[in-house]
Structure 1
Amino acid sequence: MAAEEAQVDYSLSNPDTLTKYKQAAQISNKALEAVSGWCTEGAHIIELCERGDALLDAEVAKVYKGKKISKGIAHPCTISPSSYVTPYTPLKSDAEEASTTLKKGEVVKIQLGVQIDGFGTIVCDNIVVGGVVEGRTADLLLATHYANELLLRLMVPPGLVAATEEEKKKAEGQKPPSQTKINQLLEKVVKAYDCNLVESTTCWLFERNEIEGKKKIILAPGEGVKGDGNPEPMEVWGVEMGVSLGSGKVKTLPNRATLLRRTTTTFGLKRASSRATLSEIVKKFGTFPFSMRQLEDERAAKIGVMECVRGNVLRQYEVVGDKEGEPVSRLFTTVVITKNGLTRLATPPAFDPAKYKSDKKITDEEVLKILEQPLAKATTAKKNKKKKKKPAKKVEDDDDDDDDDSEDE
């Protein structure tokens, strides 16, 4: 069995891999839309998170029925209040936190995700409770949108979407922008709206059963922290953008850390309760993040995870917020880079800047020029032109191939 599994190609060279990513993304996007609609003034965060997880489980159950592949939640539904930076999901057994409700006018961050056969897609979007966006809130969301759009374009390898031979030749000598350069350009965007990047916001290379791969891009890195590696074709990335109306500096909040993830560390657990908890985690979540509320016995889980965290078998995600208590916005997009450029898989819904009134705007010419660049090649017209010269039977075959290619764009 192990030898047979070793022969499976899990790279993007195998069309099944991209198909699974896309199906996972479809579910993530559908759930995000639903949860966003539930976020109204006075709604309890814990209840919204539970409903979100139930929806994810129900939708995942509909795909790959009867197939012997893993599938499930790649990131539990989390809803972070205005000044919270990290994903937040309280427990019912913590009465004070369970009573947390959404307040009118605050910016909340909804994050969730799904995995199929270990191919995870995660998405995060901001909504304003009550739907009224004005003043500094508009500045914050505009800054986040344009910074995210700029970052996505900076992640496209040089020359990958070149339209002409001249552009291709010009790009041959170019190197991908350094992470220092990326940060400098992003700073220009957020400063135009009098905002700041959230320190140490991290984008990761995604791999099978791994959402923190070998390469990463760190925005506004803290002291002694740096990114490593550039995006390349045939890769999937989780792209995060965090922006604050404050300084962008963060602090650990007193809330219980309820979001955890299994590490690759092995440790001899002494307590039977710890071993039982870890066994349930491995079976249900593999190496993907989970909330203690997703375990069968929430109260027992609080005890069971303690030894696992001390032994570094589990990593817990501390609850972090803006140091000054200022509103924070976050976006998370799962993207794939193919030979045709960058495609958004799990992604926040389309953003209409015209709906957000601000007296501020981006004026830097270098930034504006990059924002005009496409994320992927426009190849449809060229392919259609070639088809006319082929026999009818061949055209039908090529149509099928082209449909597959166009999905990669």
Structure 2
Amino acid sequence: MVETQTPEVDYTLNNPDTLTKYKTAAGISHKVLEAVTALCVEGEKIVEICQKGDQLLDEEIAKVYKGKKIAKGISHPTTVSPSSYVTPYTPLVSDAAEAEITLKAGEIVKIQLGAQIDGFGTIVCDMHVVAKKDAAKEVITGREADLIVATHYANELLLRLMVPAGLLAQGTDEEKAKAAAKKPPTQSYMSDLLEKIAKAYDCKVVENTTSWMFDRNEIEGNKKIILVPGEGVRGEGVPDVGEVWGVEVGLSLGSGKVKNLDHRTTLHRRTTTTYGLKRPSSRQTLSEVVKKFGTFPFSLRQLDDEKSAKVGVVECVRGGVLRQYEPAGETDGSPVSRLLSTVAITKNGLTKLAAPAPIDLELYKSDKKIEDEEILKILEQPLARSTGNKKSKSKKKKTTTAGEE
């Protein structure tokens, strides 16, 4: 009898199915992000918005890859972070005080969420200025406009710095080879450029803002880039063709320094550590986490019994089988921004899979601007090589600023 071996599945971007799954997950992330953003108005409770977001994610995920033996689910629960919060925030129904927290008109909230298909997760974070209830859309001015416009350009710059050196070079073979031989930008160079943009708008880059390489079932891969790292903190990694990254940028109207907040940790993620849990409640919690979320982040709110989950996670965190994401905010309470895009790097350049909605600069009026020639030059660079079938679309598209696609 001849043994037949199951062929090994190629999970890299070389397999078109991989990119299709990423794009399917991204489509869901975008659709739900748009719906959740519309829910973020004055007086609404954050916990209820998060619950609705997760419900919408589940509903949309259920519609794809029906009947196929493919794991799918939420890659990041819906989080809505108030103005000065740096990290994703998702309160619990059972924490009475936090469950009553509502959105205030004029504050900048950060909405983060994501879906995964077959372990290929896309996470997106966008910012939103909370509108007054039943009020027409207003033009944002002043310091909030400075922060949002600065973050937009910082994000566009960082995305361009993620494109491998020489990948999109044009000209003779010699010119292309020369461009490809250039060293990739270092993390300190990236930080310096972003700090220059922040300074132009009288902002600061939030310390330790981290971009990670994504792998299948892993949103904190073996490469990371840390902007403005604190003492003793360092990232390592140069983006390369064939990789998927979660690219993050965050700015502050204050110091840019971060402190832990006096809130319960509600966001966790399973690690690869194994540990013999002694308490039945801990084992039950871990079992539910593995079944529902695998190694993706989850909120205690998503577990069947929130109150027993609060007890069950204690030993799991102590034993290292769950990692907790402690809530953190700007040390001086100033507003902070955050954008997160999931991008794929292919031979044609950088593809935004799940990314914040394009900014309408007519709605954000800042009296400040970027004058640094080096930065303006980078912002003019494309993210990807132009492909023929998009020419007709690009003619119709009106470009408003340097850095817009």
Normalised-by-shorter TM-score class: over 0.9
Give, in angstroms, the shift of residue 164 of structure 1. 2.4
Q: Structure 1 regions of 5+ residues with no counterpart? A: 385-408
Match of 2:157 among 147, 150, 155: 150
- Looking at structure 2, the residues matched to 279 and 91 of structure 1 have their Cα atoms a distance apart, in angstroms, of 20
- Looking at structure 1, the residues matched to 367 and 119 of structure 2 have their Cα atoms a distance apart, in angstroms, of 45
SS at match of 1:355: coil
Equivalence for 2:56: 55
Q: Judge conservation of contact 1:215–1:227 (CA < 8 Å) in 2.
A: yes
- Looking at structure 2, the residues matched to 5 and 150 of structure 1 have their Cα atoms a distance apart, in angstroms, of 44
- Looking at structure 2, the residues matched to 85 and 173 of structure 1 have their Cα atoms a distance apart, in angstroms, of 37
Give, in angstroms, the shift of residue 379 of structure 1. 2.8
- Looking at structure 1, the residues matched to 26 and 382 of structure 2 have their Cα atoms a distance apart, in angstroms, of 22
Equivalence for 2:396: none
Match of 1:375 among 374, 383, 398: 383
Q: Judge conservation of contact 2:124–2:354 (CA < 8 Å) in 1.
A: yes
- Looking at structure 2, the residues matched to 201 and 381 of structure 1 have their Cα atoms a distance apart, in angstroms, of 36
1:34 aligns with 2:35: yes
1:92-150 Cα shifts (integer Å, max 9, x gaps): 10000000000000000000000000000000000000154210000000110000000
Equivalence for 2:68: 67
The 1:381–1:42 alpha-carbon spacing in structure 2 relative to 1, beyond 3 Å, is closer
- Looking at structure 1, the residues matched to 39 and 389 of structure 2 have their Cα atoms a distance apart, in angstroms, of 41
SS at match of 2:249: strand
The 1:168–1:356 alpha-carbon spacing in structure 2 relative to 1, beyond 3 Å, is same
The 1:4–1:55 alpha-carbon spacing in structure 2 relative to 1, beyond 3 Å, is farther
Q: Judge conservation of contact 2:166–2:181 (CA < 8 Å) in 1.
A: no
Equivalence for 2:169: 162
Q: Judge conservation of contact 2:188–2:228 (CA < 8 Å) in 1.
A: no
- Looking at structure 1, the residues matched to 48 and 360 of structure 2 have their Cα atoms a distance apart, in angstroms, of 29
Match of 1:350 among 329, 343, 358: 358
SS at match of 1:35: helix
The 1:292–1:232 alpha-carbon spacing in structure 2 relative to 1, beyond 3 Å, is same
- Looking at structure 2, the residues matched to 293 and 182 of structure 1 have their Cα atoms a distance apart, in angstroms, of 37
Equivalence for 2:308: 300
- Looking at structure 2, the residues matched to 243 and 4 of structure 1 have their Cα atoms a distance apart, in angstroms, of 52
Q: Judge conservation of contact 1:162–1:377 (CA < 8 Å) in 2.
A: no
Equivalence for 2:148: 141
SS at match of 1:75: strand
Match of 2:217 among 209, 212, 216: 209
- Looking at structure 2, the residues matched to 117 and 42 of structure 1 have their Cα atoms a distance apart, in angstroms, of 37
SS at match of 1:122: strand
Letter in 2 for 1:80: S
- Looking at structure 1, the residues matched to 6 and 313 of structure 2 have their Cα atoms a distance apart, in angstroms, of 31
Equivalence for 1:263: 271
Query: Identity rate of aligned residues, in percent?
Result: 69
Give, in angstroms, the shift of residue 170 of structure 1. 3.0
Give, in angstroms, the shift of residue 359 of structure 1. 1.3
Equivalence for 1:22: 23
- Looking at structure 1, the residues matched to 201 and 5 of structure 2 have their Cα atoms a distance apart, in angstroms, of 54
SS at match of 1:9: coil
Give, in angstroms, the shift of residue 354 of structure 1. 2.9
- When the two structures are superposed, what TM-score results if normalisation uses the length of structure 2? 0.92
Q: Judge conservation of contact 1:163–1:377 (CA < 8 Å) in 2.
A: no
The 1:48–1:266 alpha-carbon spacing in structure 2 relative to 1, beyond 3 Å, is same
SS at match of 2:113: strand
- When the two structures are superposed, what TM-score results if normalisation uses the length of structure 1? 0.91
Match of 1:177 among 180, 185, 197: 185
The 1:381–1:164 alpha-carbon spacing in structure 2 relative to 1, beyond 3 Å, is farther
- Looking at structure 2, the residues matched to 269 and 159 of structure 1 have their Cα atoms a distance apart, in angstroms, of 51
- Looking at structure 2, the residues matched to 266 and 220 of structure 1 have their Cα atoms a distance apart, in angstroms, of 33
Match of 1:197 among 188, 202, 205: 205
Q: Judge conservation of contact 1:143–1:189 (CA < 8 Å) in 2.
A: yes
- Looking at structure 1, the residues matched to 359 and 218 of structure 2 have their Cα atoms a distance apart, in angstroms, of 29
Equivalence for 1:289: 297
Letter in 2 for 1:157: P
SS at match of 1:76: strand
Equivalence for 1:403: none
- Looking at structure 2, the residues matched to 5 and 180 of structure 1 have their Cα atoms a distance apart, in angstroms, of 46
Letter in 2 for 1:303: V
Equivalence for 1:219: 227
Give, in angstroms, the shift of residue 163 of structure 1. 2.9
SS at match of 1:110: strand
Instruction: Figure out how many residues of one structure are paired with residues of the other and give that number.
Output: 383
Q: Judge conservation of contact 2:82–2:103 (CA < 8 Å) in 1.
A: yes
Q: Structure 2 regions of 5+ residues with no counterpart? A: 132-136, 393-404
Q: Judge conservation of contact 2:205–2:251 (CA < 8 Å) in 1.
A: yes
CA-atom RMSD in angstroms = 1.7
Which runs of structure 1 show a deviation greater than 6 angstroms over 4 or more consecutive aligned residues? 3-6, 381-384
Give, in angstroms, the shift of residue 224 of structure 1. 0.7
